[in-house]
């Protein structure tokens, strides 16, 4: 089933807004659509990113890391529901848990001793980069002014 490029563009923009790229940390594809042509839900895509980040850890650590992150995501989802968040708000909060954990896993895998401030900086940088990429989709003049941001 073929989809208009503008449909995929809006899906990609939404993903980038949530910090979810098209390729994981281990090189795996994080598709916009499933094999039936349906959009892959942002939480599913964020979980793929999480699994790609966790795959960089030692196998024994990766399992515990995933278990802890899934438990944290459930807590965040429950709190969001109790707070009366709408569907997008809940999705954004849960996706943020997965994306932040994926970035954390990548940083931990790259360095033995990592401070919380290093992880926070890496996570903030990750989101900023994806926000810039999202803006570039809708405002191509940004890339002309700052071409190195998207190289």
pLDDT one-digit tens code per residue, 48-65 = 999 999 999 999 899 999
pLDDT for 151:
39
pLDDT one-digit tens code per residue, 99-121 = 999 998 988 888 766 777 877 77
Please give the model's pTM, rounded to 2 decimal places: 0.78
Token couple for 54: 């966790």
Report domain extents, the chain: 5-145
Region 127-146: mean pLDDT is: 66
* Mean pLDDT over the full length of the chain: 84
Considering only CA atoms, which of 119, 100, 117, 95 is closest in space to residue 108? 119
pLDDT for 96:
92
pLDDT for 12:
83
pLDDT for 150:
41
Angstrom distance (rounded) from CA 32 to CA 12: 7
Angstrom distance (rounded) from CA 129 to CA 135: 10
Region 126-136: mean pLDDT is: 73
pLDDT one-digit tens code per residue, 63-74 = 999 999 999 999
pLDDT one-digit tens code per residue, 12-27 = 888 888 888 888 999 9
pLDDT for 4:
55
pLDDT for 128:
76
Angstrom distance (rounded) from CA 101 to CA 103: 5
């Amino acid at each position: 089933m073929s989809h208009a490029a503008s449909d995929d563009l809006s899906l990609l923009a939404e993903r980038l807004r949530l910090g979810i790229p098209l390729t994981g940390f281990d090189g795996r594809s994080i598709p916009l659509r499933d094999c039936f042509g349906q959009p892959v839900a942002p939480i599913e895509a964020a979980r793929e990113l999480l699994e790609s980040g966790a795959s960089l850890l030692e196998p024994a650590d990766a399992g515990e890391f995933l278990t802890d992150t899934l438990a944290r995501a459930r807590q965040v989802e429950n709190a969001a529901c109790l707070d009366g968040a709408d569907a997008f708000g809940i999705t954004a909060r849960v996706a943020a848990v997965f994306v932040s954990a994926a970035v954390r896993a990548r940083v931990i895998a790259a360095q033995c001793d990592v401070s919380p401030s290093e992880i926070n900086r890496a996570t903030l940088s990750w989101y900023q980069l994806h926000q810039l990429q999202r803006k570039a989709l809708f405002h191509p003049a940004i890339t002309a002014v700052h071409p190195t941001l998207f190289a």
